[in-house]
C-alpha cells in the first residue's frame, strides 16, 4: 500500500507531467503564428513582443521609437519592425499592405500603443483631447478593422486591446486618457459581436500600476497598496495576453480582464 508521502509524490509528478505536456502543446501551437503588436519598443509592448517571439511566433513590432525598434531587431532578427505614428490612418493601411505581401495574413493583433498624458481640465485644449483619442482609441479601431479585412473567415484569430484601470478610476487631468480607455473597453465587446463566427475573439486587458523600471526602485508602501503585495511588471500583462491567445480559451470573448494586483478592489480610508 502506498504511503501518504508516496501518494503525494505521485500526484505531484502527474500534475508536473500535465503541465509539461500543456506547455509543449502551446509552444507547438504558437510556432510560426503571426502577431502584430503596436507600441512594441518599450514597457508592456516590449514584453509582449519578446514573450510571443520566445514562443516561436513571427512578430511585426510597431512603434514611433525607432531606436527602440532597432534594438529589438538586433536582439530578435526574425522580428519585423515598423516606425509609425499610429494616428496616421494611411500609414496603417500601408502597413497592412506590407503585412499581406510578406505574411499573407496575421493571426493575432495586440493594440497596445497609447499616450499617457494628464493635462488639467482648464488647460486641456480640444486638440490635446483629440490627439489622445486618436492614438488610444481611433487607431485600435483602424488596426482591428484592417486585421478583420485581412483575416480568412473561420480561421484562428485573436485581437487583444490594452485598456487601463483608469477607465474605472481617475486622477485630476485624466479626462482624455480615461475616456480613451473606457472607449477601448466598449470597442472590445462591440468588435467581439461584429466578429462573431469569424474565428476571431476580442478581449481587453486593463493593467493597473505597471512599473517599467527596476522593482527595487519602489518603496514598501508602493507595493503594499496592492493586495498581491507588489507593483505589477510588464510580464504580468504579457502572460495574460499569451493565455488569451491559447486555442482552448476561445470561450473568453468580449471581456475586460484587470491585471492590477487587486488594487481597484481595495477599500482605502484616509
3-state secondary structure (DSSP) of residue 184: helix
Contacting residues for 177 by C-beta, under 8 A, at least 6 apart: 115, 116, 117, 118, 132, 136, 164, 166
Active site residue 96: no
Q: Cell 500543456 appears where?
A: 22
Catalytic residue among 76, 96, 167, 177: 177
Q: Whole-angstrom Cα distance, residue 55 to residue 35?
A: 11
Q: Whole-angstrom Cα distance, residue 55 to residue 36?
A: 14
- In the chain, DSSP assigns E strands to 34-38, 58-63, 80-83, 108-111, 157-162, 200-207, 256-259
The counts of H helices and E strands in the chain are: 9, 7
Q: Whole-angstrom Cα distance, residue 211 to residue 202?
A: 26
- Catalytically active residues are 177
Amino acid at each position: 500500500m502506498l504511503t501518504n508521502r508516496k501518494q503525494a509524490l505521485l500526484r505531484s509528478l502527474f500534475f508536473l507531467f500535465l503541465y509539461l505536456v500543456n506547455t509543449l502543446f502551446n509552444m507547438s501551437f504558437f510556432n510560426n503564428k503571426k502577431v502584430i503588436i503596436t507600441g512594441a519598443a518599450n514597457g508592456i509592448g516590449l514584453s509582449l513582443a519578446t514573450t510571443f517571439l520566445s514562443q516561436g511566433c513571427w512578430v511585426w513590432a510597431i512603434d514611433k521609437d525607432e531606436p527602440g525598434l532597432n534594438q529589438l531587431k538586433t536582439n530578435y532578427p526574425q522580428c519585423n519592425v515598423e516606425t509609425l505614428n499610429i494616428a496616421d490612418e494611411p500609414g496603417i493601411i500601408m502597413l497592412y499592405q506590407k503585412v499581406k505581401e510578406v505574411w499573407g495574413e496575421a493571426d493575432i493583433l495586440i493594440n497596445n500603443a497609447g499616450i499617457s498624458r494628464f493635462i488639467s481640465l482648464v488647460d486641456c485644449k480640444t486638440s490635446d483631447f483629440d490627439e489622445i483619442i486618436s492614438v488610444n482609441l481611433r487607431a485600435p479601431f483602424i488596426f482591428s478593422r484592417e486585421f478583420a479585412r485581412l483575416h480568412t473567415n473561420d480561421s484562428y484569430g485573436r485581437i487583444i486591446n490594452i485598456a487601463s484601470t483608469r477607465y474605472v478610476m481617475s486622477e485630476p487631468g485624466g479626462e482624455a486618457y480615461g475616456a480613451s480607455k473606457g472607449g477601448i473597453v466598449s470597442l472590445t465587446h462591440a468588435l467581439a459581436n461584429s466578429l462573431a463566427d469569424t474565428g476571431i475573439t476580442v478581449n481587453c486587458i486593463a493593467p493597473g500600476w505597471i512599473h517599467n523600471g527596476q522593482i527595487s526602485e519602489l518603496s514598501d508602501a508602493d507595493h503594499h497598496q496592492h493586495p498581491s503585495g507588489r507593483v505589477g511588471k510588464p510580464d504580468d500583462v504579457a502572460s495574460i495576453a499569451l493565455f488569451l491567445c491559447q486555442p482552448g480559451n476561445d470561450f473568453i470573448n468580449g471581456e475586460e480582464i484587470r491585471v492590477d494586483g487587486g488594487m481597484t478592489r481595495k477599500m482605502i480610508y484616509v
